[in-house]
Amino acid sequence: MSKPYVYVTRKLPEELLHVLSQTAEVECWEETDKPVPREILLEKSRNADGLLTMLSDKVDKELLEQAASLKVVANLAVGYDNIDLEEAETRNVIVCNTPDVLTDATADLAFALLMAAARRIPEADQYVKKDKWHGWAPFMFAGADVHKKTLGIIGMGRIGTAVAKRAAGFDMEILYHNRSRKKEIEQDLGVKYAEKKELLEKADFVCVVAPLTTETRGMIGKGELEQMKKSAYLINVSRGPVVDEKALIEAMQNEVIAGAGLDVFEQEPIRAEHPLLKFPQVVALPHIGSATTATREEMAELCARNIAAVLKGEKAETPLN
Ligand code: 8YV
């Protein structure tokens, strides 16, 4: 009997797919950093038993309808807003994501962004490298304190909790807003639940870690930005569309808030001419929340194990359905 066929939508190191290659014939898209064109993804998925996908691959109704032999999709991310989970479910396609393995790396990055925005690290770095530092001044690159300030976390899942743990080390007061209250976390970490408005009004840093869903799309808009303190910073490591970018640009122009640290954008990759990138008080990163070598390797291996398990008729480690 021939091996099942698995298509991987980016070039990944062979050793990370080793487990999968024992079970399936594996083909990778030839590029490491460019998404597979839609037509090729559709063509490959027509014969695929499994797909290893990235955030930029739309696994939608059109794709699922024509992928008659597809049994499993493993997404190299904890978020899965690129996948029509309901449609996959009706077609008995198992969908897997990569929770847990990326929690700490992503929380580290959220905190790094917060620190970078508050202490103006990218601006100061450029100042030194561009040879602009000719003398010391008492208020040169004076930023905002982080220690003992209030952090508001929107979305208290695994990553939100890990961000709270880091903030505790900075003696921060921590407020959180979530669909459901997390009494255990409140007790363990001393964090307090707040309604969104209260959190926005009180926080010096608002960190968005909620997944993109129909409820969270545009959840931080003009009104929410206006509820924030003028001295506050917005940090987003979840998905771009959770924040209304037009409203954020206006908020920056009118100094409604002090700054932002953004790892995600409405349209990715964002282009350099985008108005949001003109503000020195906006720190922008190319969606690298989970991008440490160790974490990305673990994510890829988890995807490979999940696909191999389903193709062998076993239970996946991290199925969503
Ligand atoms: C992914 C992410 O690595 O896990 C997520 O949801 O946003 C990142 O960790 C990125 O989306 C690449 O697929």
Integer Cα distance of 100 and 78 in angstroms: 8
- Does the reported pTM lie above 0.80? yes
What is the CATH topology of the domain spanning 5-77+293-312?
Answer: Rossmann fold (3.40.50)
User: Do the domains spanning 5-77+293-312 and 102-284 agree at the CATH topology level?
Assistant: yes
Task: Look up 268 and say whether it is catalytic.
Answer: yes
In whole angstroms, give the CA distance from residue 294 to residue 101: 9
Q: Indicate which atom in ligand 1 lies nearest the CA of residue 296.
A: 3
CB count in 10 Å sphere of residue 90: 10
Rounded distance from Cα 142 to ligand 1 centre (Å): 33
Q: Which atom, in ligand 1's list, is nearest to the CA of 102?
A: 9
Q: Collapse the DSSP code of 274 into the 3-class scheme (helix H, G, I; strand E, B; otherwise coil) and give the result.
A: coil
Task: Report how far residue 115's alpha carbon sits from residue 117's, in angstroms, rounded to the nearest whole number.
Answer: 6
Q: Give buried/exposed letters for 264-288 (b at 16+ CB in 10 A, else e).
A: bbbeeebeeebebeeeebbbbbebb
pLDDT in tens, the chain (321 residues): 789 999 999 999 999 999 999 999 999 999 999 999 999 999 999 999 999 999 999 999 999 999 999 999 999 999 999 999 999 999 999 999 999 999 999 999 999 999 999 999 999 999 999 999 999 999 999 999 999 999 999 999 999 999 999 999 999 999 999 999 999 999 999 999 999 999 999 999 999 999 999 999 999 999 999 999 999 999 999 999 999 999 999 999 999 999 999 999 999 999 999 999 999 999 999 999 999 999 999 999 999 999 999 999 999 999 999
Report CA Rg, the chain: 21
pLDDT of residue 15: 96
Domain ranges for the chain: 5-77+293-312, 102-284
Q: How confident is the model at residue 295, as a pLDDT?
A: 98
215 part of the active site? no
Our answer to whether residue 239 is catalytic in this structure is yes
ipTM of the complex: 0.95
Q: Which atom of ligand 1 is nearest to the CA of 79?
A: 6
Ligand 1 pocket: which residues have CB below 6 Å?
54-55, 76-79, 102, 287, 289-290
- The domain made up of 102-284 has a fold known as Rossmann fold (3.40.50)
**How far apart are the C-alpha atoms of 81 and 167, rounded to whole Å?**
28
